[in-house]
Structure 1
């Protein structure tokens, strides 16, 4: 394999390698915003207490972390923030973005690539969880350029990020019906509830990080008004042309592939390294677990099917019609559709 272009920025570094060396000055959830949380509207769904914060229904334990993030997070030039509703291709996007940005230090075809020894969520930190646990010092310890992720609505992000031309946001979504099915399979191992429970909560807009339509519209609208700062991706389109989307991602973050990179097959190597079958078959993703601060998930649970259209195996035609009608109504006039 030919050498990678020396023009490429080297970075980011795997989060797990840095976090292990950081001794946080705080190791418990921030308590200073508890009074704000107690005054917020509440709802119980799927065995969880949700609080309505800035229009979003948030798991109660996360609200103080969100407030802390808004007040404490300091962005840096070159920061790249991946954003998504849960179960919309987050794991895949983390792998692709990390492999793309770190290709100078870690050629994707190399035998020692970090993604071969750790789960993608260990390479790219979930900033919501770090602030929830009072472990934001670990985020500060990351050298630039930093690659991070959030499930927060755009309306919950600090203005220092949303109004900062030096920060790039990459948002990924998928057919909301597939999202619900995938979320149910993912969460039922830690919170027993039926698919009907999740479906009805989502239809009411009161599922975790709901309403889903507001989540979508926030980033969709931003991608239209600020296309240089917000890239809007669809999971189904990425499945059809993953190499093309890796090229689009690289251009967006300011690290386009050079002629040398293309001749060396770097974009295709990134897609191969990050393919569903490749990642699912790795020992790092067959064993171990991910500490989500509130829930603990096995690495294996992040790799179920990785396909589009699986909702037909879990959702009745009547449910699909109801949900499609709700989504279509909520998105009407925006230009965003899922037909």
Structure 2
């Protein structure tokens, strides 16, 4: 099941009346939304309970109005800085394991951004769903969109979409987001302090935040529809990557055969997608920023460790975040302890 490489394109599509209407609705809506200062962009907007960038809101509106799901669609979902790059690599390599040799694999030569599109970003960039519509099946698509903001045809009843979701201890998410924001903030802006990031995060004001609401949307969906939503915690994948790879393959309907197990295919995938392997690749060490892509491949790699927060957060900060998390997750069956 081969997914072709997705390359950046500057091709402009001629927008029909339906797309024009969506853009008009967006232009009218945006000035009416509450705003707060963004972490690496100038503004975040509160839209249906979440803090989103303008391009994220436009992308969501285009998805609602025009995206047509297919029975084979696979949606790889995360809140930002929860192991997105790792999850994308794992799912891509699992789905395409019959198409490529591990000794000459696309993940060794191409950026994860080229192998799997971010749904809302590419739809916003083209102004339409044409790029996504043109992808070969099975479409494996990445997103940061909260579960509740997808149209019902993607989440309810006989929806064909399957979601694989990865979350992470919010303390590590905060630290990772803070580091990332200071890598990609425009040079004219001063660095974001940890205190500023902490206060905003606790208030729920971060990209696709509140973080806890984003996680709970997918968690509850995974309990209600386990055949449609597979939910992982980053910490568990770090502990048992082989088991998680097998679980993803089974969930996606492509379990590993006895022959593949004997050949060590699961181990090859784990090794190929490891932080150590991916962060050492030339394609992920170069500064690849340009006008179309202001974020470099190297910006997505820092440590990939569990509990790195202990090197940055004070005991008081950690205690406050733990208290918020306990309150938000109370009675849900989910915890990060």
Report the TM-score, using the length of structure 1 for normalisation: 0.90
The offset of 1:327, in angstroms, is 1.1
The offset of 1:289, in angstroms, is 2.5
Indicate which of 103, 109, 128 corresponds to 1:110.
103
Root-mean-square deviation over aligned CA pairs:
2.1
Q: Deviations over 1:103-130 (max 9, x none)?
A: 11113x232x111111112111100101
C-alpha distance in 2, partners of 1:270/1:165? 29
Aligned counterpart, 1:123: 115
Aligned length: 324
Tell me: CA distance 1:73–1:314, structure 2 relative to 1, closer, same or farther (3 Å): same
Pairing of 1:1-339 with structure 2 (within 5 A):
10-16=1-7, 23-25=11-13, 31-32=23-24, 33-46=26-39, 48-107=42-101, 109-111=102-104, 113-133=105-125, 134=127, 136-163=129-156, 164-191=158-185, 192-289=191-288, 296-339=294-337
The runs of at least 4 aligned residues of structure 1 exceeding 4 Å deviation read 26-30, 290-293
Structure 2 gap ranges (5+): 186-190
Structure 1 gap ranges (5+): 1-9
Q: Indicate the larger mover: 89-98 or 128-137.
A: 128-137
The offset of 1:290, in angstroms, is 6.2
The offset of 1:158, in angstroms, is 1.6
The offset of 1:136, in angstroms, is 3.0
Report the TM-score, using the length of structure 2 for normalisation: 0.91
The offset of 1:212, in angstroms, is 0.7
CA contact (8 A) 2:76 2:88 kept: yes
C-alpha distance in 1, partners of 2:195/2:54? 22
Tell me: CA distance 1:38–1:174, structure 2 relative to 1, closer, same or farther (3 Å): same
C-alpha distance in 2, partners of 1:69/1:292? 25
